[in-house]
Structure 1
Amino acid sequence: MAAALWALLAALAGPVPGPGPAGAAQVPQVPLLVWSTERSLWAPLAAPAGRVLSEPELRQLLEPGLQRGPRTVLLFLQEQLSLEDFTAFGGVFGNEPNGAFPRLQGALGSAGSALTLPSVAGAAAAALPLTLQRALGSPPPLRLPGGALGGLRLNRSDPESDPGEPTLLLVGLPHGRSGLMGAKEALASNDAVLGVVLQVLQEEQVPYTALFTARRAHEPPSPGGIPGGFGGPRRGLLGVGEGPEPPPPLRWPPQGDPQMLLWARNVSVALRGQQRDLTPKTFGAAAAVDLGGSSWSPREARLVLQYKEVFGETLNITFLLRRSWFPVSGRSWAWLEEIGVTLGGAPPARFRVRGAAAPSPLGWRCGDLGTPGPLLLPLPPLEHSQHWGLRILDLQVQGFNVSGGVFGGASDCAGFFGPGAWMGLISGGLLLGGLLLGGGILLGLRPMDRFDDPRGPPLPVPLGE
């Protein structure tokens, strides 16, 4: 059964719509699974790959097998379905009991013939009851809410020997995603309903052809990034246009080949509890930062960010970078030495940056740089910096060897020996020390031969005692 479901997932995930017009990728589409107790109804490669099937194409593909197959046809229809439901909740690689489709998996594993259609147009899926009715030449489908077969007399005849009257059953799978039922639970509940219906057919020995799909395709993800309907995690790792492009980094000088680059996801300052977010003024189309006070030399780079009307005055944030040759390592190193904050004509608040060194072809990056913090330490006189707060997220800065106007890689401020790592190492060391001490004590125990060895001489005990 595992092989059957794995083949199903491979078939569903493999053929995807090929290139076409820009609007073609937006056509709602659902997968469709078809299986039958009769053998050789569809060729193994009957499903066309690389395009979304329309209603005429779907009818042309299904009609020969429906006419030659069993006269009982069931259409299992749930509210929503997508390829992501199978890839996320399929339960393969020996994990079948935890999947959401164990009954469907069993039916596919024991089917005489099966057909997997990964991409059926949403309009074709919605018209599937009418398509089946026309292909079979049957009356309108009999709707069975929740799979209640309740005393129906099903057709057991062979279409070749006794064609009989076709029976088309529309089985509505009742469970949908809601606040109380997640995607996997709803899919598993619908799979249980499917299993009950197929169990009745098996007990009554009724040959059948079954189709499994949904009324509609996935709803597109909401602006907040939460996908609608089933599916849970969506395959968007390689998607294009999943979000707005980040703004370009600051570069100095603004024209010509840049010598300094700086980028950050967020830049904020605080003075006596009042906080200002400087990110919109620093990056993007609405940036209003002046880099005119910056300077550069082969050994020292000074990037000055000047903002108007912050706390009522002009605010300057200065990044001081240095470069020097170190004979021991045999290479040139660059480091962010300090960051200064100046408001108006007041004395500057200076902060030394710890561990901000990297080989000069590289820049330096830090996910969270702020004060108070372990990497940003105030420099004397401390009274100038005690009222200031600075927070920079995802900072990347490079002041030397900038080539092509882009960052040339970066050394990260994150180290292995953080507080969590130290706690784990010390705890592990104490446990290992206790284990070694206990083992040494056990190995040092010696038995008392006088009392424990039965082969030794008897111990005389006076009768008076």
Structure 2
Amino acid sequence: MAASLWPNQATFIAVLCIFSSTRALASHVPLLIWSSDSLPPVAPPAAGHITSSSELSAFLSSALSSGTHTVLLFLQDKLSQDDFTRYGGVFGNKEDSAFKNIEAALQSHSVVFPALEWTGSSAVPALLAEKLGVSPALVAPETFPDLQMDSSVNNLFLINMPYCGQDKPCRETLKENDETVGQVLKTLEDKKVAYTALFTGVQPSRVIAELSLSGTPVGRSLLQTPAPPAVPPPIMYNVSGNPCIMLWAQNLNVSFTETEIWTDLAQQTPTLTGSFCNASNSVLVLTYTGGITLSFFMSQRFYPVSARAWFTLDRVLLQQNAVTVSFSSRLVSAPAEYSYHCQSVSSFRDALLTPINTTTTWKVNLIDFQIQGFSLNNGTNFSYASDCAGFFTPGIWMGLLTSLLMLWIFVYGLHMILQLNTMDRFDDPKGPCISVPQTE
């Protein structure tokens, strides 16, 4: 049975208006869920109720309990209830609504949580990954039509979308996001793929302050387990629907000044325009806001000595506006069927990246870096990682040498003890003295 909480667009946004006008906690975001098949029924929440993470977990367990599922998560940089009331079609012209496709998708088989407890940017992706047993794959909207999905296994696709910026009106940005949602849904309908879609925000776009009822603390507070740190999904480039290049890093730090003012590109969503791959070469081009582009050039060769193919990260290109600096990285290599992982890939400390122009002040520091440009045969997961840290680390060498020194001292001492001999005759001071006759 379909779980349609609000049967029409006007009622849906009107309910969001009621929730916006109530005094609620500041940290919450709306969550919209719809499906091409059906969803379990949910009772309409009371006004002012904030859905907890445990309530959402219970609903997802019921919705994704049986069979395989293809789940789409449309994750906007920011989203609040006020965005639907301001840019929707209730208080203005309905034809000018910025959420036409989303409102149409909610007409049947939908569930809306107007206020979901917000505990961090990775809460919803991590919860879906736990329920489906797969990691979320970051997919660019322009490459989604070419993506080939295996309906026999669970799939979780993450599509990031921007929020209002300074260079474009907010309504226009939200309309473009809504058109992206419509194009992705049309692609799935054309391929006749059953899906479940979710639309929410990384964080609230507006904060509603909650007035304190008392200036003094009331009762006791319980200790809470801290939320897990945000883990962004890997960046994936697809060709004809097949995964071709994957990259993940905890931090993609770049600096353009001598004072080392760092910019972490991992906190932004890049475009992959200009990337390509084939059997022998792969190029991953990450373009960010502010005219910053980070490119990774990889090649694959067969080496007769080792009787296997190896891939090498030949160079890393950092570009800002019209200025480009190239970093050589011949030491970054791994077997072609493996991925490469290193805790730190930098251009200034234990450098694996060497700038071709030695006078440049630009620096790159990649933390917990993993990349694979070939042989991505297992879908959305990295292959076995070849780590840059060798087995015999300095600590292991120190331990081995110390152990060998102690063993040598022990063996030498034991050898000296075994060489001791007992005297076969002793002088008796109480007996007669030994006399030796002298002859002339």
Q: Where on the TM-score scale, by shorter chain, does this alignment land: which range?
A: 0.3 to 0.5
TM-score normalised by structure 1 residue count: 0.40
TM-score normalised by structure 2 residue count: 0.42
